[in-house]
Amino acid sequence: MSRLISRDPFARQELHREVVASSQTCGNCGGFRWRGGRKLQALFRYSTETDGGRTFDHRGLFCSKSCHDSYHS
Ligand SMILES: [Zn+2]
């Protein structure tokens, strides 16, 4: 189940992300996600959903939106 992160009203599309279980490191910074001092075996996968109902997965798994943005910009 993906969660809405942001919406671009001009492009009529939304950025979503979902948590993916993975032992990989972040595709941008090589880090992990942490919670309460524990390393999480999960990263975020981002996708674009258009108002037309189409979904495009973005390549890579990331620890944060800022890592996603810097990788894909
Ligand atoms: Zn990262």
Query: How many angstroms does the Cα of residue 53 sit away from the middle of ligand 1?
Result: 29
* Total domain count, the chain: 1
Confidence at residue 2, expressed as pLDDT on a 0 to 100 scale: 87
Q: Is the dihedral of CA 64, 21, 56, 27 positive or negative?
A: positive
Range of the domain at 7: 3-72
Distance 52 CA to ligand 1 centre (A): 30
Q: State the average pLDDT over residues 7-25.
A: 96
Rounded to the nearest angstrom, the distance between the alpha carbon of 54 and the centre of ligand 1 is 26
Residue 68 contacts residue 28 (beta carbons within 8 Å): yes
Quick one: CA dihedral 29, 22, 19, 51, positive or negative? positive
| 30-39 confidence digits (pLDDT tens) | 999 999 999 9
CA dist list (Å): 65 to 12, 24, 68: 20, 17, 5
CA of 48 to the centre of ligand 1 (A): 19
Q: How far is the CA of 13 from the centre of ligand 1 (A)?
A: 24
pTM of the model: 0.88
- Answer yes or no: are the C-beta atoms of 56 and 45 closer than 8 Å: no
pLDDT tens, position by position, 63-72: 999 999 999 9
